[in-house]
Amino acid sequence: MKADGTVTGHHKPSSEFPFHRAIYEARPDINAVIHAHPPALVSFSIVRKLPNMNVIPQSKYVCGPIGYAPYALPGSEALGETIAGEFKKGFNAVIMENHGTVVAGSDLKDAFVRFETLEFTARTIINASTIGTPRYLKDEQIDRFHSQIPEDLPEMERVVHTGKELSIRRNISQLVRRSCLQGLMISSYGTVSVRWRENDFLITPRDVPRWEMDLQDIVQISNGKREPGKLPSRALRVHQQIYRQNPHINSIILTQPRHIMAFGVSGQKMDVRTIPESWIFLQDIPVVGFGMQFEEAEELAGLFSPNTPAVIIKNDSIIVTGDKLLQTFDRLEVAEFSARSLIMSTPLGKLVPINEQQIEDLRKKFLS
């Protein structure tokens, strides 16, 4: 599509090209636009509401405030003018009344990360509303959260890659991609680390979309220093503390699965006493206050034990630990499966968990 409307190519353009063109004309800084009808965002559009982006810090950080475009005929110049008007106000994501959503970015990757994060946020709010009432963060809490991100570690002078270390990198990379495919992680959030030797470990980087993370992106942390030229996840400090205080833990996953986060943002208890396997894998999951991973990382790390492999941080994430990386991933899968079952059971009736005697029988058989 040329600026004057001339079409070059064998196919006709999308009927929605007028609003794409209008956005580019209104915002020279925008180089990519995505329009789609993802179910959670369509749900907001047909009840004519905007998702509150203060539900999780990176929702606001990645997406910013959300614009709202009143209904206009699809494919019309009027719709283009309406949507472009919202982007002129500085919005990078717009809910289209009774239609869908449109997001933009500096490039296609930037736009997609925003699009995926926005749909994740909408799903989290809807799931939380199914089991309770979402609780939102204040702007001051989010600002304070970002200000508490610790300073970067100094760089090591020389890095050594052994065969074992490269194998760990490969496992982390494959597991992160698998997590993205299974909805356990989104491109804008999720940290995985594996202990390498003593308290040295390998950890995923910051600001790299999770679905394209590769071996060379993983960051080695050794003797309190980071691999040269790389920036580790902002969650680095809490991973350090967990390894230091828990010799039995050799892998950590910190992430935001959409069903688990419904419990993390609603204050409702995620009771894993649903089926035997859920409790055996996870036992009871403590819930801690928002920001604890920065303000009280040592105290948070002290909550983990062989009998407490996972902790939920309100309005932020779940941290799952284990010996081997695959064990940690299995626990994450079971946790998300359990959360989804709990949400789906809500319209059916009251949860009837496994009773104390049944729990004790499981403890004796599988955990003694």
Question: Over the stretch 287-318, which tens digit does the pLDDT of each residue have?
Answer: 999 989 888 999 999 999 999 999 999 999 99
- H-helix or E-strand containing 226? strand 225-226
pTM for the whole structure: 0.94
pLDDT at 147: 83
* Contact yes or no for 77/104 (Cβ under 8 A): no
Number of domains in the chain: 2
What is the rounded CA–CA span in Å between residue 124 and residue 131? 11
pLDDT at 37: 96
* Residues 106 and 197 occupy one common structural domain: no
* Residues 233 and 302 occupy one common structural domain: yes
Quick one: which of 197, 322, 160 has its CA closest to 254? 322
pLDDT at 2: 86
| 115 is a domain residue | yes
Q: Is 81 a catalytic residue?
A: no
Mean of the pLDDT values across residues 5-26? 91
| 12 is a domain residue | no
Q: Are strands 219-222 and 310-313 parallel, antiparallel or unpaired?
A: unpaired
* Residues 115 and 160 occupy one common structural domain: no
CB neighbours of 246 closer than 8 A, spacing ≥ 6?
301, 304, 305, 321
pLDDT at 295: 81
The domain boundary, picked from 102, 137, 172, lies at 137
The domain boundary, picked from 86, 112, 137, lies at 137
Lowest-confidence segment of 191-195, 250-254, 354-358 by average pLDDT: 354-358
What is the rounded CA–CA span in Å between residue 262 and residue 342? 10
What's 75's domain CATH number? 3.40.225.10
pLDDT at 149: 74
Mean of the pLDDT values across residues 82-93? 97
pLDDT at 113: 95
> Does 128 have pLDDT greater than 80?
yes
pLDDT at 182: 94
| 3 is a domain residue | no
Confidence of residue 1 (pLDDT cuts 50, 70, 90): confident
* Residues 95 and 226 occupy one common structural domain: no
Residue 14 phi, psi (nearest 5): -55, 145
Question: For tokens 């950590």, what's the residue?
Answer: 252
Torsion angle, CA of 34/122/263/319, rounded to 10 degrees?
A: 20
* Residues 118 and 237 occupy one common structural domain: no
* Residues 88 and 219 occupy one common structural domain: no
Instruction: Convert the pLDDT of each residue in 233-249 to its tens digit.
Output: 999 999 999 999 999 99
CA angle (137 as vertex; 135, 140 as ends), nearest 5: 160
Question: For tokens 């709990």, what's the residue?
Answer: 342
| 9 is a domain residue | no
pLDDT at 139: 94
* Residues 96 and 231 occupy one common structural domain: no
| 6 is a domain residue | no
Residue 102 phi, psi (nearest 5): -140, 130
The token pair that represents 23 in the structure block: 């956005």
> Does 68 have pLDDT greater than 80?
yes
Kindly name the residue from 16, 119, 165, 227 that is annotated as catalytic: 16
Mean pLDDT score of the chain, rounded to an integer? Answer: 94
Domain holding 66, by residue range, is: 17-137
pLDDT-above-70 percentage for the chain:
100
Instruction: Convert the pLDDT of each residue in 17-50 to its tens digit.
Output: 999 999 999 999 999 999 999 999 999 999 999 9
pLDDT at 333: 97
292-306 core/surface letters (b: 16 or more CB in 10 A; e: else):
bbbeebeebbebbee
Instruction: Convert the pLDDT of each residue in 159-180 to its tens digit.
Output: 989 999 999 999 999 999 999 9
152 or 204, higher pLDDT: 204
